[in-house]
Amino acid sequence: MRLNFVPMFAPGWWTVIIHYSNKSSSSNVSDSIQKSSCANRKSLRFWLFASILFLLVVWISILLWHAAGLYQLMRQAKQLNPSDFLHEAPSLVHQARNHMEGIYWGMLPVFPVADALTWIPGWGKPLSQIEPLILYGVALSRGADEMLQEIAPALKSLDGQVPSPAWLAQLANSLLEKNTSAREANGWFVEASIIRKNIHPEWFPERWRTIWMQNEALLSMAEYGGQMFPVLPSILGGEQPRRFLILAQNNEELRATGGFISGIGVLELRGGKIVDFDIADSYAVDNPNVVYPSPPEPMAYYMKAGYWVPRDANWSPDFPTTAQKALELYALSTGEKMDGVVAFDQVFIVNLLEALGPVQLPPSQEKVDSHNVMQWMVEAWAPDSGTTDDVWWGKRKEFMGLLAKAIQRKLSESSDASTWLKVAQVLLKNVQSGHFMIFLNDGNVQQVLRSLGLDAGVHPGKGDFLMLVDTNMGFNKADALVDRSLVYTVDLSNPERPVARLQVHYQNHALPGIPCQHHAEYGDTYESLRQRCYWNYWRILTPAESQLISSQVPAISAEQLLIQEPYLGEVIVHSEDTAWTEFSGMILVPVASSAEFSLIWELPSSVIQSSNDGNLYSLRLQKQPGIHSLLVKIIVRFPETVKVFPMENGWKKLNEKNEWVGQVEIVESIEELKLLFR
């Protein structure tokens, strides 16, 4: 008898088979080995399946534990009042970071699988959002954790008090001087901002979308606030006092960056504190003893403007350009040099008072809030005698200074953390929607603002681009009653020579019966300035190298223009010194009626970009500041032989000619649309 050891390898186990060598019973031994081998294989399969099942249960349990922990932290945070939240924030965010990183490592093997299944109808788009959502959470939590761990001692020192802008400015300044991990945290916030561009909430399942929408404002605050933190000292006057030129724009008389500059003032920040804030009539800044430059040609021609004064500085739709021109003209008028520009319109004032609550105005201590401020301003503007005269002209805008001082007092006296959070949210929302704009003569600040899309600049991007810019040249407030909408058709049937067609429609809701007389005339009431015909100098901004093919623009008779010369519908093309091509002209919209014009132009072939997944047509729509919203209908015609994959929900195929239609109401300044085809 000979004893043999036969090692047989299987994953995770070694099996030793002992058998006896016996010539007379070789067949029995062979049968025994086969039976043993079969039993071992069954046992092996069972234990292998059991092990996989066990690991799967453990994996799912760990993921659920992290998800539940994250959910509990969110509930806990919502239940805290703002002061307690600031004290607990470092601990809560650190725990959230650990849970997010646990979810990330647990889901890492799933990402390739989810990406491979994006073709599944109805499930592909939600699956494609798993990876960017988790990566966004990880980057945001890491940035917040790095930042809060640094400022944790300072937060505890508040002892339940509300952090003021001055405290924030001093804190940011001290952290940056130490070159601490605040800069590393900023890198994570930048990473989060980049990742967020790949997140499409409209692709989420209903419950996910609801949760996202409920927390989107706070996520935005964290993302933008983290990136703005390093430049807070520069903005808030933490390093040195900052003096801003204030431009109060009236969006009922629309101009390129939001409205006619009705008021001009000064805001001074020192160590995060407002030490001076006042606004007065923009006409009061004019200085008859200086020589002003010539105004833009359309203003000189249609409005007979003889010189370019500060109240007309906002001709360029690119706010950084307008801001620099305003600083130049203000310095020419007053001899004062400012560090930056802050511009806003009435929408911002309403939103700010909604966050702050009512303010009291001396001497009567009248209460003004978000509900009555618009009517209060109209009544404060109106002449006491019922007629406009020289005395009224000099006092008609005194209400702006009263309101500015009342808001300054309210901000200085506020000690409620929830109020400051609301104010911060209002600032972000209004910057994003074009009702509040800021410019600083500081390259680092401007770079951060531009990277966040908060500089109110005109940036056409790499694909197609469209922006309507209206300038009210009627010496009135008709924009209060004017609606506008666009129909934009792009023909890509020949990708080498894409063609665009734009129809712009205006509706004037003013009461009928008012003649179109083009001259500067004040009525006895503010409402009479709204009830007017609409003289509008329009501009269409398109990608550089666009070529106008044809246009249909209604003519305006000589009797209806201040210059007493007819406008025959000509379109001016301008493409020098800008990153875009501009088409411009005039249109008159009488009261209680509508008007429209249309243009056709050839787009550069670069509006179609090649990618690994096929050809990409992208369109960047930009809304003019001051407009509440802009309705745009888009029709894109593709070659009949290609298959189209919309990157957003809402697109519909029109017919067998491979035309796709979508509609968007632009509320924030920028809307990006993408269609993939191959």
Decide which of 451, 480, 514 is a domain's last residue: 451
In-domain check, residue 54:
no
Which tens digits make up the pLDDT trace of 25-42?
455 555 665 666 666 677
The pLDDT of residue 57: 87
**How long, in residues, is the chain?**
678
Name the more confident of 91 and 154: 91
Q: What percent of the chain stands above pLDDT 70?
A: 88
Q: Of 168, 203, 234, which closes a domain? A: 234
* pLDDT computed for residue 188 by the predictor: 86
Q: Residues 492, 592: one domain?
A: yes
List CB contacts of 58: < 8 A, sequence separation 6 or more: none
387: exposed, middle or buried (C-beta count within 10 Å: 0-12, 13-18, 19+)? exposed
Number of domains in the chain: 3
Identify whether residues 516 and 475 lie together within a single domain.
Answer: yes
Q: Is 146 helix (H, G, I), strand (E, B) or coil?
A: helix
Same domain membership, residue 511 and residue 432: no
Enumerate residues 6+ apart whose C-beta is below 8 A from 371. Answer: none
Residue partners of 237: CB distance under 8 A and separation at least 6: 169, 268, 269, 270, 271, 272, 273
Looking at the structure, tell me whether residues 103 and 207 fall in a common domain: yes
Shared-domain flag, residues 268 and 229: no
**Are 226 and 334 contained in the same domain?**
no
Q: Ramachandran region of residue 60, left (φ > 0), alpha (ψ -120 to 50) or beta?
A: alpha
Query: Which of 255, 248, 615, 326 is CA-nearest to residue 464?
Result: 615
Please determine, for residue 19, whether its predicted confidence score (pLDDT) is greater than 70.
Answer: no
Mean pLDDT (whole number) for 477-487: 98
> pLDDT, tens digit, for every residue of 632-670?
999 999 999 999 988 877 899 987 789 999 999 999 999
Assigned domain for 399 exists: yes
Residue 68 lies in a domain: no
CB 70 within 8 A of CB 406: no
* Band (384; pLDDT cuts 50, 70, 90): confident
Phi-psi label, residue 513: left if phi above 0, alpha if psi -120 to 50, beta otherwise? left
Per DSSP, the residues of 325-349 read: HHHHHHHHHHS---SEEEEE-HHHH
Q: What are phi and psi of 625, to 5 degrees?
A: -55, 145
What is the overall mean pLDDT for the chain?
Answer: 86
pLDDT for 60 beyond 60: yes
pLDDT at residue 182 is higher than 70: no
Assess whether 440 and 400 both reside in one domain: yes
How many Cα atoms sit within 13 Å of 661 on the Cβ side?
Answer: 7
On whether both 539 and 421 belong to a single domain, the answer is no
The conformation of residue 556, written as its DSSP 8-state character, comes to B
- Within this chain, do residues 204 and 262 fall inside the same structural domain, yes or no? no
In three-state secondary structure terms, 19 is strand
pLDDT at residue 24 greater than cutoff 60:
no
Q: What would the mean pLDDT of 323-349 be, rounded to a whole number? A: 97
Question: Is the domain of 90 the same as that of 203?
Answer: yes
CATH number (domain holding residue 290): 3.40.630
| d(C-alpha 392, C-alpha 494), whole Å | 62
Q: Considering the entire predicted model, what is its pTM?
A: 0.85
Which carries the bigger pLDDT value, residue 337 or residue 236?
Answer: 337
CATH number at residue 619: 2.60.40
In terms of residue numbers, what domain contains 618?
464-677
**Mean pLDDT value across residues 511-530:** 90
The stretch 114-118 carries a mean pLDDT of: 79
Q: What is the pLDDT of residues 538-564, one digit of tens each?
A: 999 999 999 999 999 999 999 999 999
Structure confidence at residue 214 (pLDDT): 74
Considering the domain architecture, whether residues 230 and 271 belong to the same structural domain is answered as no
- Which pLDDT does position 512 carry in this prediction? 97
Any domain includes 564:
yes
Q: What is the band of 176 on the pLDDT scale with cuts at 50, 70, 90?
A: low
Domain assignment present for 60:
no
Q: What is the 3-state secondary structure (H, E, C) of 476-502?
A: CCHHHHEEEEEEEEEECCCCCCCEEEE
pLDDT, position 424: 86
| Whether residue 592 is found in the same domain as residue 516 | yes
49 found inside a domain? no
Of 209, 234, 259, the domain-final residue: 234
* Buried residues in 407-418 as b, exposed as e (16+ CB within 10 A): bbebbeebeebe
